[in-house]
């Protein structure tokens, strides 16, 4: 219930409150978020079983990916259908650096983010001057193309040369993790902290000049252009930021799974990702966390109940249609509203039933 | 010179390329078929049907089920596949196409991804691909054929190219001369004004949805025979047709046809070149990206009306 309360409080679409006025909400919200974060970092890893620790690591990682895509779709109005491929790029770069050097892990994450940022931006370049539909299509094709390349080059596994792939290795070394986070529980803490940093980075952008420019572009590109906003620059900026956080997520993914395989990054994965991001809610940063939970925790839950993951694919498909038709703000917006409506309904029922119950016996 | 460059330059002789040219033309024909089907729907309704491949795959799997487990005559099964694809696409168009009619093309296109996911999930449930179950559709025309020089050409290859050519010609003529076609062209320009002029807009849209579905069923069967009967493969083969449509800027049917043939042929001709063979499936993306860059050198920013 407390989580639902937080979601109601956080409607990031509203303008930030003035720094001077200390009304209770401005203090309560960061406090609740900090408490939640402390709970997830300190308590949660020790409570969960190994099975769910693994799942939660993936939730943290995919929340970052969803954050990047949500930024593109929700803030700027750009739809990318190839984010899983961008994640694969980030994971590849990180794995290559991890095998080639003994750099500290945070530096590797930074490098993976920056290199992915450059590659992702280059790819978006041809479509950025076109309407959104073209960008969606070109990224869909890009996802297909990257999948093809990865199937041939494979992920680095300690081999030599630029590609670092050793096909005949009998003993394949693991991708290393940060020395302070070698166990699964420690790696979960590490991932959550990195994810929190990425959320802060995006929040810092959304709340300042680029955020306002993106909002203007989203409302009307021609009006933004007329107001003197360099729309191409800011679209590119959004693309770069989304690619950066996705690259960092790729770096975490390399460490979390220890072995990477090209068939884990399919075109279908990119489409499913867009589906959960839309379902989670694209106008609030909380939507990204819900998307991560939908994408990584729900399959594990269903799996432990013996339900086929195919049902989830169907659910996500229906979810996309439902979001586009009736609830553009996603679960983040809808669930609190529905809960409130349910509450009113129950209270109304209770009021109607109580006198009736008093009279009838 | 670096040995790698020499290897890349050692092109196979033309004799080795001929069989691949035949395959490429056949595949290119089917890509053209799909591309034209998608463009006509896009021009009429503003929906780029990304579920095209999934619908065709579903139809082809139903046909496979009927032939192998119910003993239905195969031509009847193919007919069922085509009709099923038509009706399913029409049903989607009537429910969701109508509800989203006033929205931005990007929203309408994203919505078809919802249908794609639902179909992928159902197909995986009904015809699981785990456990190494392999299925195939073999058209009787595979065994008929003739020789050109020393190259074996099967009737299926001829059909693949022929349906692509035929649909391109028929659609062009249909749009130009028939009343329904004229209505479709009018709707591509402005839906509201067309409605004001007394054209039954919804009936015209229904015709476009049904036509697109029929085409996806035909493409589904042909691709199941020429490539593989696998839900995921067939669903995402639509990318090749999409690239062709994109090169044609989602408007010209003739350019779509030419681009689709080029994509099919280039993809196939690269196959025997060892150093590039593994990368050949990148062809649609590379060609579309280059075309977009070249076409849009001098274009100003285009502006969409509404985000998601």
Percent of chain A with pLDDT over 70: 86
Residue of B nearest to A269 (CA): B117
B 86-125 residues with CB < 8 A to A: 96, 99-100, 103-107, 109-111, 113-122, 124-125
CATH number at residue B100: 1.10.3470
Q: Determine the residue among A78, A130, A215 to mutate to test chain B binding: the one whose Cβ has the most chain B Cβ atoms within 10 Å.
A: A130
Q: How far apart are CA B43 and CA B183, in angstroms?
A: 11
- Residue B215: the pLDDT is 95
Pairwise pLDDT comparison (B2 vs A192), residue with the higher score: A192
pLDDT digits (tens, 9 = 90+) for B160-190: 899 999 999 999 999 889 989 889 888 888 8
| Domain region containing A231 | 28-309
Residue of A nearest to B104 (CA): A133
Pairwise pLDDT comparison (B2 vs B118), residue with the higher score: B118
- Residue B111: the pLDDT is 93
Whether pLDDT at A9 is above 50: no
Residue of B nearest to A123 (CA): B289
Whether pLDDT at B304 is above 70: no
Whether pLDDT at A207 is above 80: yes
| Domain region containing B189 | 17-128+136-295
Within a domain: B160: yes
Within a domain: A254: yes
Within a domain: B83: yes
- Residue A157: the pLDDT is 72
Residue A314: which of B118, B285, B293 has the nearest Cβ? B118
- Residue A12: the pLDDT is 41
pLDDT digits (tens, 9 = 90+) for B232-268: 888 988 888 999 998 888 888 999 999 999 999 998 8
pLDDT digits (tens, 9 = 90+) for B207-230: 999 999 999 999 999 999 888 888
Within a domain: A67: yes
Q: State whether A152 and B109 contact (CB < 8 Å).
A: no
- Residue A45: the pLDDT is 79
pLDDT category, A360, cuts 50, 70, 90? Answer: very low
- Residue B298: the pLDDT is 57
Whether pLDDT at A93 is above 80: yes
Within a domain: A314: no
Within a domain: B191: yes
Whether pLDDT at A163 is above 80: no
Whether pLDDT at B132 is above 70: no
Provide DSSP, chain B. --HHHHHHH-PPPHHHHHHHHHHHHHHHHHHHHHHHHHHHHHHHHS---TTHHHHHHHHHHHHHHHHHHS---HHHHHHHHHHHHHHHHHHHIIIIIHHTTTS-HHHHHHHHHHHHHHHHHHHHHHS--GGG-------GGGS-EEEETTEEEEHHHHHHHHHHHHHHHHHHHHHHHSHHHHHHHHHHH-HHHHHHTT--HHHHHHHHHHHHHHHHHHHHHHHHHHT---HHHHHHTHHHHHHHHHHTTTT-HHHHHHHHHHHHHHHHHHTT-HHHHTTGGGHHHHHHHHHHHHHTTTPPPP--S---
Pairwise pLDDT comparison (B288 vs A130), residue with the higher score: B288
Pairwise pLDDT comparison (A269 vs A176), residue with the higher score: A269
pLDDT category, A179, cuts 50, 70, 90? Answer: confident
Pairwise pLDDT comparison (A333 vs A89), residue with the higher score: A89
B92 CB neighbours in chain A (<8 A) are none
Within a domain: B305: no
pLDDT category, A170, cuts 50, 70, 90? Answer: low
Residue of B nearest to A219 (CA): B306
Average pLDDT value for residue range A281-288: 87
pLDDT digits (tens, 9 = 90+) for B93-103: 999 988 888 88
- Residue B288: the pLDDT is 84
A314 CB neighbours in chain B (<8 A) are 117-118, 121-122, 125
Residue of A nearest to B128 (CA): A310
B294 touches chain A (CB under 8 A): no
Q: Yes or no: say if A175 and A229 are a contact pair by the CB < 8 Å rule.
A: no
* pTM over the 0.90 mark: no
CATH number at residue A224: 1.10.3470
pLDDT category, B299, cuts 50, 70, 90? Answer: low
B106 CB neighbours in chain A (<8 A) are 79, 131-133, 136
Q: State whether B114 and A131 contact (CB < 8 Å).
A: no
- Residue B10: the pLDDT is 56
Within a domain: B107: yes
- Residue A6: the pLDDT is 38
Q: How far apart are CA A256 and CA A54, in angstroms?
A: 8
pLDDT digits (tens, 9 = 90+) for B139-167: 887 777 787 777 788 888 888 899 999 99
pLDDT digits (tens, 9 = 90+) for A41-89: 777 877 888 888 889 999 999 999 999 999 998 888 888 888 999 999 9
- Number of domains within chain A: 1
- Residue B131: the pLDDT is 58
Whether pLDDT at A108 is above 80: yes
Q: State whether A321 and B303 contact (CB < 8 Å).
A: no
B293 touches chain A (CB under 8 A): yes
- Number of domains within chain B: 1
Residue B285: which of A130, A145, A318 has the nearest Cβ? A145
pLDDT category, A31, cuts 50, 70, 90? Answer: confident
B48 CB neighbours in chain A (<8 A) are 133, 137
Within a domain: B1: no
């Amino acid at each position: 219930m407390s989580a639902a309360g937080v979601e109601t409080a956080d409607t990031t679409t509203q303008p930030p409150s003035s720094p001077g006025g200390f009304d209770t909400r401005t203090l309560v919200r960061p406090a609740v978020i900090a408490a939640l974060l402390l709970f997830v970092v300190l308590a949660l890893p020790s409570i969960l079983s190994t099975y769910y620790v693994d799942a939660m690591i993936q939730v943290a990682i995919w929340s970052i990916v969803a954050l990047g895509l949500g930024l593109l779709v929700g803030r700027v109005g750009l739809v990318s259908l190839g984010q899983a491929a961008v994640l694969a790029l980030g994971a590849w770069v990180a794995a290559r650096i991890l095998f080639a050097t003994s750099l500290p892990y945070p530096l590797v994450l930074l490098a993976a983010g920056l290199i992915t940022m450059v590659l992702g931006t280059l790819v978006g370049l041809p479509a950025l001057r076109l309407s959104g539909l073209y960008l969606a299509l070109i990224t869909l094709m890009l996802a297909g193309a990257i999948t093809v390349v990865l199937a041939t080059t494979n992920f680095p596994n300690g081999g030599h040369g630029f590609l670092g792939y050793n096909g005949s290795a009998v003993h394949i070394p693991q991708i290393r993790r940060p020395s302070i986070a070698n166990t699964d529980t420690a790696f979960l803490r590490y991932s959550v902290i990195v994810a929190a940093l990425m959320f802060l980075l995006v929040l810092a952008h959304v709340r300042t000049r680029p955020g306002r420019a993106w909002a203007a572009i989203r409302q009307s590109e021609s009006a933004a252009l007329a107001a003197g906003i360099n729309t191409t620059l800011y679209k590119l900026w959004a693309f770069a930021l989304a690619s950066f956080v996705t690259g960092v997520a790729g770096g975490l993914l390399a460490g979390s799974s220890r072995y990477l395989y090209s068939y884990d990054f399919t075109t279908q994965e990119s489409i499913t990702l867009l589906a959960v991001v839309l379902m989670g809610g694209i106008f609030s940063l909380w939507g990204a966390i819900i998307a991560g939970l939908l994408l990584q925790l729900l399959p594990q839950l269903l799996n432990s109940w013996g339900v086929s993951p195919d049902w989830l694919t169907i659910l996500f498909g229906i979810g996309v249609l439902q979001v586009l038709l009736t609830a553009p703000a996603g679960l983040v917006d809808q669930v609190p509203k529905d809960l409130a409506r349910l509450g009113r309904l129950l209270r109304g029922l209770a009021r109607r039933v109580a006198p009736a119950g008093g009279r009838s016996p | 010179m670096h040995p790698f460059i020499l290897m890349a330059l050692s092109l196979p002789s033309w004799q080795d390329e001929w069989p691949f040219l035949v395959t490429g033309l056949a595949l290119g024909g089917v890509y053209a078929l799909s591309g034209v089907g998608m463009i006509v729907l896009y021009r009429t309704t503003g929906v780029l049907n990304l579920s095209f491949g999934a619908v065709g795959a579903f139809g082809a799997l139903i046909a496979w089920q009927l032939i192998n487990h119910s003993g239905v005559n195969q031509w009847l099964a193919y007919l069922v596949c085509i009709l099923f694809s038509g009706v399913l696409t029409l049903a989607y168009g009537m429910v969701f196409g109508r509800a989203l009619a006033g929205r931005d093309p990007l929203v309408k296109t994203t919505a078809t991804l919802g249908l794609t996911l639902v179909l992928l999930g159902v197909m995986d449930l009904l015809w699981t691909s785990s456990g190494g179950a392999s299925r195939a559709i073999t058209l009787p025309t595979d065994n008929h054929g003739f020789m050109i020089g020393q190259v074996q050409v099967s009737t299926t290859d001829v059909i693949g190219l022929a349906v692509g050519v035929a649909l391109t010609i028929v659609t062009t003529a249909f749009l130009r001369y028939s009343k329904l076609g004229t209505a479709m062209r009018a709707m591509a320009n402005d839906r509201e004004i067309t409605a004001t002029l007394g054209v039954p807009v919804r009936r015209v849209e229904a015709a476009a949805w049904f036509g697109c579905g029929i085409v996806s069923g035909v493409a589904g069967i042909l691709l199941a025979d020429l490539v593989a009967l696998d839900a995921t493969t067939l669903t995402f083969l639509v990318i090749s047709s999409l690239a062709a449509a994109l090169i044609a800027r989602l408007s010209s049917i003739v350019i779509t046809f030419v681009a689709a043939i080029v994509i099919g042929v280039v993809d196939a001709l690269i196959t025997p070149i060892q150093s590039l063979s593994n990368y050949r499936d990148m062809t649609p993306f590379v060609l579309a990206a280059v075309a977009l860059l070249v076409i849009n050198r001098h274009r100003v920013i285009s502006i969409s009306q509404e985000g998601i």
